[in-house]
A and B are shown apart, each in its own frame.
Chain A
C-alpha cells in the first residue's frame, strides 16, 4: 500500500499524543470553507443507486453458500451433529463442524484476542454449532433445516428474578464496577427530600438493517481475505486470526460499506469463523449471511438492567446524595457489564456518591455494547429519577438540574474540558416552548388524548483512541485518504474528505477516501463515538505534514502559505498544488490519547425535549415532537451530525416505548427473534425531530476539537419521553418499555 512512499522514500509520519491542549487548529484557519458545512455525503450517489457494495455482495469465482446451524436448546454438551439427511440434499457439498475452532460467543469490541471458542459446550439457545455448505443458498438452507443436534442437556440459568440474588462484582471493564465518595446512607437519612426508586430495562438488540455477513476467501499465499460487516477492522483481524490460529498478518478484512452497526459489529460474530473454516476445508470461497433470526439469537444483546437510584436533596433542591446501583447480566465467563452508571459519575454535583454494578450470570446470549453502552439505559433511570425529585420539590426540572451543576468533575476533582449542559437546556427550553408546559401532571386533556411535555439531560463521555491514516497527494493534485476506519452510516467518508479538503485547500471532489480495508493504516474503528475525533485527527495530522512539504516545495513557511481551490498562495505568488507535488507526496498521521484524558473530564452534553399524547382509552403513546440541543465540540458536518442525533433520539423512542427482547424462562431463547416481533420504531412512530447544535471547540479532546456525537443523541432521549408521559397522565412507569398495558390501569378517568 505504501508504494508511493517506499518508492520515493518520502513518506514521513506525524504523530501526536494528546498530552497537552491543542488550542490552534488548522480547521479554524482553512480558507476552503468546507468544514462544518452541511454537505451531502460523498458516497451518497452510490448508496441511493444501489451501487455501494456491502459484505455479502462481492462476486467470487466458484462461490459456495453457507447456512449456519444453531443449537436448539439452552445449555448442554453436544454428542453429535447428525447430518446424513443434510448431506443427501442435492447441491449440498459438506456439513462442517469444528468444535474447538467455532466461536461460542461473539467477541467484544476492541479486544485483540480470540473470543470464547468451543461449541461442543452450548451456553445459550441459538449458539452456532455447524455450517452447511452448498452450491446454492437454497440447497444450503434446506440442508441446514435437516441437521439434528444431539446433545446431553445441562441445567441453565434462564430467569433473571431467580438469580438476581447471586449477583457478583465483575472485574473492571469500561469503568470500575464500584466507586464511592462520602456516606450515601447517612446523607439520605438526613436529606429533606429523597427519591428511592428502581427502574428496569429489558434486553435489547441493535437490529442493524444489514445482518452480519462474511465472504471468506483464502488466497494462494495462505492469506484470508474476508469481506465482512465489521466496525473495527484492525482489532477484528486480530480476533479472527487468533480464532483461526493463523498469523495476524494473514487475515485481511474488508468492510467498505457496513449496513449499520450500533455496537453489534464491533467484535467478530460466529459467521466469520464458520465461513473461514468452511472455506479452508473446501478450498473455495464461502459466503455466509446470518438470517435475521440468527442475528437475534447469536450475536450480541444489550443487557437487561435493574437500577436502583437514590437521590437526597435539601429543600432548595441541591443534591447531597446520589446512588446508582445496577444489576446487569451476562454469560458465565464474560465480564462485560452494562455500565449504566457511567454518566452518573459526573452528571450532577453531590458530596455523597455511590456508583455500583453487579453481574448476574445467565444463559442468555452474549451481552455487549449497543449504542451508548451505559448512558443509553442508565439515563433512562437517572433522568426519570431527577424528574421524580423535581416533582417532589415542586421545582421546574430544568431549574433542578441547574442547581446541581458541578463546577468540576465531582468525583475526580478535575476540570471539565467543556460543559454546556445548562446552555443546552436553556436553548432547548426556548426553542421548544417549555414555558407552555403544565407543571401539574394530567392537566391537559384534548378529546381522547392526554398531552404532556418532558425533558432530560444528555451526557456522554468522550474518548480518543489510537488511529492512523495515510494521505497522498497525486501528481494531478488530488488527495487520497486511506485508513481502515469504517463508515457505518456515521458519515466517516464525508467528514474525512472535508478535513483533508479544508487543510489541503482542495475542492471536495478532488479528495478520494478509501475506507474499511485492513491493508490500510489501522484506525480506531467505529465505536464509542470516537471515530470522528480519532480518525479525523489522524487525517488532520497527515495533512498538516503535507502542508509543510508543499510550503517547502514553494520555498516558504506553512504559516505564510494559503491553500485554496487547489492552489498554493504565498509571497504574492499562486501555484497549482500539482506543480509542488512532483511524483506525488505521501504522509502518515497518527493520533494517540495522552495526559489530557485524565487531566480533564471530557464529555459531550445535550438536552432532550419531548411532547407526547397518551390515549385515555387505550394507553397508546404517540410522540408528537422532539427536540435535542447538543454541544459536542466542533461539528464537522452539520448534515451528517444531525442525522446521527436523529438516529440516537429514535433509538430513545424505541427504548422508551417498544423495544424488548423476551427470553423464554424455560431455556433463555429469544422469543421475539425477528423484526415483526422486536419492535424498532418505524416511520409513523417518529415525528419530525428538531436538532440544534451549540457552537463549541474542545481543545483538550484532539487537534480538530470535535467530540463524539453518535451516541449522545440516545443518552436521555427515552427519559424525556417517559417524563412527558408522566406529565401527560400522572402515571410513572419504571419498567421500560412503557407499553399500553403498563399505563392503562393508572390512567386518570
Chain B
C-alpha cells in the first residue's frame, strides 16, 4: 500500500491486522505516537489523517491507502518546535510526556475544527462557536493525562489559539 506520512511517501507491505499506530511505532520507527490503551480510550495515539485527528490504534493501516498522515514527529523537531509544542513546554503542559504527543496532535486537529465552526457539547450557541476554557477542556477530553497537566494544557492551547486569532484579525 501507499501513503504519505510526515510529508514522505511510503510504499509498504502491511499485515492486514496491523493498526495505523503499530505501523508507525513498530515498522516505521516513528515512536512518537504512544500506545496507552490500544482501545480508543485514552488518545495517546492521536494522529492527523488528512487533517483530522483520529485514534490511530482504532484504525487499520490498510484503510489508509493514499492518505496523508501526520504524527507528532511531523509537526516539529526539538530544534524547530511547532507553536503548540513550544507552548506545551512553556506552560508545562505535560509531566511524564507519555500522553503529550497525542495531546498536541489532538489540539492541532481541534483548533481546526473550531476554525471550521464545528460546535461541541460545551457550545452555548451552535452557530457561533468561540473558544473559551470550557470549550478547550470539553474538546480535549478524549486525551487522558494521568499526570493531570490539564490546566496547563488549556493554558498552552488558549495561548496559541489567541495568537492565531490576533494574526487573523
Interface residues of A (CB under 8 A from B): 40-41, 43-54, 56-57, 59, 136-138, 141-142, 206-211, 257-262, 289, 291-292, 488-491, 639-640, 642-644, 646-647, 649-651, 674-676, 680-689
With the chains together, A681 CA to B101 CA distance in Å? 19
Which stretch (B111-119, B123-131, B141-149, B160-168) binds chain A? B141-149
For residues 16 through 71 of chain B, which have their beta carbon under 8 Å from a beta carbon of chain A? 17-18, 22, 25-26, 29-39, 41-42, 44, 71
Complex interface: chain A residues within 8 A of B22 (CB): 137-138
Q: Are B42 and A675 in contact (CB under 8 A)?
A: yes
The 7 closest A-B pairs by CB, nearest first: A50-B32, A259-B98, A489-B96, A489-B95, A47-B97, A650-B148, A50-B72
Complex interface: chain B residues within 8 A of A490 (CB): 95
- B81's partner among A49, A53, A649, A651 (CB-CB below 8 A) is A49
Least distance between B113 CB and chain A CB atoms (Å): 15
Least distance between A60 CB and chain B CB atoms (Å): 12
Q: Are B98 and A209 in contact (CB under 8 A)?
A: yes
- A136's partner among B15, B152, B153 (CB-CB below 8 A) is B15
Complex interface: chain A residues within 8 A of B152 (CB): 643, 646
Q: Are B41 and A686 in contact (CB under 8 A)?
A: no
Complex interface: chain A residues within 8 A of B100 (CB): 47-48
With the chains together, A591 CA to B89 CA distance in Å? 32
For residues 78 through 123 of chain B, which have their beta carbon under 8 Å from a beta carbon of chain A? 78-79, 81, 85-86, 88-90, 92, 94-101, 104, 122
With the chains together, A259 CA to B150 CA distance in Å? 16
With the chains together, A585 CA to B30 CA distance in Å? 38
Least distance between A653 CB and chain B CB atoms (Å): 8
- A211's partner among B33, B36, B99 (CB-CB below 8 A) is B36
- A675's partner among B37, B77, B104 (CB-CB below 8 A) is B37
- A640's partner among B41, B77, B92, B146 (CB-CB below 8 A) is B92
Q: Are B17 and A138 in contact (CB under 8 A)?
A: yes
Least distance between B156 CB and chain A CB atoms (Å): 10
Complex interface: chain A residues within 8 A of B101 (CB): 48, 50
Complex interface: chain A residues within 8 A of B30 (CB): 50
Complex interface: chain A residues within 8 A of B104 (CB): 48
Interface check B5, CB cutoff 8 A: no
Minimum CB distance partner of B84 in chain A: A48
- A40's partner among B92, B97, B137 (CB-CB below 8 A) is B92
Q: Are B31 and A209 in contact (CB under 8 A)?
A: no
Q: Are B140 and A683 in contact (CB under 8 A)?
A: yes
- Take A208-B96, A257-B97, A675-B144 as given contacts and tell me if A48 and B154 are in contact as well, using a CB distance cutoff of 8 Å: no
With the chains together, A141 CA to B57 CA distance in Å? 15
Complex interface: chain A residues within 8 A of B98 (CB): 54, 208-210, 259-260
Interface check B159, CB cutoff 8 A: no
Q: Are B81 and A681 in contact (CB under 8 A)?
A: no
Minimum CB distance partner of A65 in chain B: B26
Q: Are B154 and A683 in contact (CB under 8 A)?
A: yes
19 CB contacts below 8 A, A to B, read: A45-B78, A45-B81, A48-B100, A50-B72, A51-B73, A52-B97, A138-B18, A138-B22, A261-B96, A489-B97, A639-B92, A643-B92, A646-B151, A674-B39, A675-B41, A682-B144, A683-B153, A686-B148, A686-B150
Complex interface: chain B residues within 8 A of A56 (CB): 35
Minimum CB distance partner of A49 in chain B: B78
Q: Are B133 and A40 in contact (CB under 8 A)?
A: no
Complex interface: chain B residues within 8 A of A649 (CB): 148
Q: Are B97 and A207 in contact (CB under 8 A)?
A: no
Minimum CB distance partner of B121 in chain A: A684
Q: Are A50 and B33 in contact (CB under 8 A)?
A: yes
Complex interface: chain B residues within 8 A of A211 (CB): 35-37
- Take A48-B104, A54-B34 as given contacts and tell me if A682 and B141 are in contact as well, using a CB distance cutoff of 8 Å: yes
- A210's partner among B36, B75, B148 (CB-CB below 8 A) is B36
- Take A49-B76, A683-B141, A684-B138 as given contacts and tell me if A258 and B96 are in contact as well, using a CB distance cutoff of 8 Å: yes
Least distance between B106 CB and chain A CB atoms (Å): 10
Minimum CB distance partner of A650 in chain B: B148
- B44's partner among A40, A51, A209, A261 (CB-CB below 8 A) is A209
Least distance between B68 CB and chain A CB atoms (Å): 18
Least distance between B133 CB and chain A CB atoms (Å): 7
Minimum CB distance partner of A491 in chain B: B95
Q: Are B15 and A650 in contact (CB under 8 A)?
A: no
Q: Are B41 and A210 in contact (CB under 8 A)?
A: no
Q: Are B154 and A688 in contact (CB under 8 A)?
A: yes
